[in-house]
Amino acid sequence: ERFYVLMKTLIKKEGGGGHQIPMIDTARVFAAHGATSTILTTPSIALQFQKPIIRDQQSGLPITIHTLSTDITDTDMSAGPMIDTSVLLEPLRLFLLQNRPDCIVVDMFHRWAGDVIDELEIPRIVFTGNGCFPRCVVENIRKHVVLQNLSSDSEPFLVPDLPDRIELTSFYDLEPAYADYMRNVLGKRAWLVGPVSLCNRSVADKTERGKQPTMDEQNCLNWLNSKKPNSVLYVSFGSVAHLSQEQLKEIAYGLEASEQPFIWVVGKVLNGETCGEKNWLPDGFEQRMKETEKGLVFRGWAPQLLILEHGAVGGFVTHCGWNSTLEGVCAGVPMITWPLSAEQFSNEKLITDVLGIGVQVGSREWASWDAERKELVGREKVELAVKKVMVESEEAEEMRRRVKVIAGNARRAVEEGGTSYGDIDDLIQELKPRR
């Protein structure tokens, strides 16, 4: 079976880990199940993730990368948030005509590719990159908004633009009620194939899956080796989030006041620029953290999987991106939720209210991309939430116990006989008779 994954190329080069990484991992998972997988992307993006793919090829997996165009250069990629995808249309059409796949998985942001794929009558699965819970929430909101315009409750209606086949990186046991609701009530064809990050088994894979870490990851792991089990807090806001200088200061003061050791990834969280040696931290903060060995401020791309699964890490301040959420779950680490936009607010509810494996920091404002306009989360709130997870208490113990159970379920889901393993095989079987 030929199985193609069309990567997200629309995003700026330095962002978008949240779609790119799980799509690559999905292709690798399908290759591991015997489906010939090809990742379609642009040359500059391919450079970022080719190492794990080369290793997969060397170990005999049927996986390749095909670059659609050489027209999009690094300069184009960094010029703005979107690139002109029309240049990819013809190369895509040509490639698909010559190599008809049994199925193509397309990122939800790649609407431009949909027409070509549908015209060639190739089965298309939309990759949403999130779980069932936010999906159910969004679907219901849409439904109700549409209903308001109807003349009677029984009038049938179509919700426009909804894909009827979706592929999700969740796994059944994480959110069974919502998976059932999505399949049985909302009538979606959904395959829950995650957590796909678990296909990264070797240290090299875990290090080189997104972009290359920009700080010697060994420094960071050595630092963790010197800490007690479950004592370190890992703080990261994903690959695209921006925070204001004032907010970063509040985080710094809050972390310091909590007195818990931490690794804080400040890759590019500062609005509009990367967090270099600029004067955005409180006076003497970094020096104090170094001297007391309390904290590590990590500039650049962190090896998140390796950090999270290190035994010294006992808590995760996360913006609730779906991948980070799943990675926290797989590592069995309770979370402090700090959603910033989009479905991250639903993911927060799943983590705290539904699963009981985290506490909310109190980030309220929804979907403002302008970091300067976001309501500040004060240092006291940061300190309080950190202590709730990191300082020994019955509540913290219970969260830790629960997330460890779910981590075990995640592992079982992707093993032979597990639900995600089964969903992948089912999908492959379903596509076979079309040949």
Of 19, 110, 242, 310, which is the active-site residue? 19
Nearest residue (CB) to ligand UDP, 342 versus 428: 342
End-to-end CA distance of the chain: 9
Give me the least distance between CB of 334 and ligand UDP, in Å please.
16
Which helix (H) or strand (E) is 381 found in, with range? helix 379-390
Strand order in the sheet with 335-337: 295-298, 262-265, 232-236, 313-318, 335-337, 358-360
Q: What Å distances lie between residue 174 and 177, 192, 195, 312, 329, CA to CA?
A: 9, 10, 10, 25, 9
Total binding residues for ligand UDP by CB under 6 A?
19
Q: 234: exposed, middle or buried (C-beta count within 10 Å: 0-12, 13-18, 19+)?
A: buried
Q: Given the rule CB under 6 A, which of 78-86, 236-244, 376-384, 419-427 is the region that contacts ligand UDP? A: 236-244
Closest Cα partner for 56 from 22, 20, 27? 27
β-bridge mates for residue 360, sequence order: 337
Q: Does 85 sit near ligand UDP (CB under 6 A)?
A: no
- Residue 19 is among the residues annotated as catalytic for this protein: yes
Give me the least distance between CB of 327 and ligand UDP, in Å please.
5
Q: Does 208 sit near ligand UDP (CB under 6 A)?
A: no
| Residues near 324 by beta carbon (within 8 Å), at least 6 away in sequence | 236, 238, 304, 316, 318
Give me the least distance between CB of 304 and ligand UDP, in Å please.
3
Q: Given the rule CB under 6 A, which of 15-23, 70-78, 279-287, 420-428 is the region that contacts ligand UDP? A: 15-23
Give me the least distance between CB of 210 and ligand UDP, in Å please.
4
Give me the least distance between CB of 114 and ligand UDP, in Å please.
22
Give me the least distance between CB of 301 and ligand UDP, in Å please.
4
Q: Given the rule CB under 6 A, which of 253-261, 296-304, 380-388, 427-435 is the region that contacts ligand UDP? A: 296-304
Give me the residue label for tokens 């009530």.
Answer: 185
**Distance of alpha carbon 334 from alpha carbon 358, whole angstroms:** 5
Q: Does 210 sit near ligand UDP (CB under 6 A)?
A: yes
Q: Does 327 sit near ligand UDP (CB under 6 A)?
A: yes
Q: Does 107 sit near ligand UDP (CB under 6 A)?
A: no
Closest Cα partner for 17 from 251, 217, 303, 264? 303
Contact map string, positions 297 to 316, toward ligand UDP, x by CB under 6 A: ----xx-x------------
Of 56, 102, 107, 205, which is the active-site residue? 107
φ and ψ at residue 235, rounded to 5 degrees:
-120, 120
- Residue 144 is among the residues annotated as catalytic for this protein: no
- Residue 293's region, left for phi above 0, alpha for psi from -120 to 50, else beta, is left
Whether cis (ω within 30° of 0) applies to the bond prior to 282 is no
Q: Does 21 sit near ligand UDP (CB under 6 A)?
A: yes
Active site positions, annotated: 19, 107
**Which residues here bind ligand UDP, judged by CB under 6 A?**
17-18, 21, 210, 236, 238-241, 265, 267, 301-302, 304, 321-324, 327
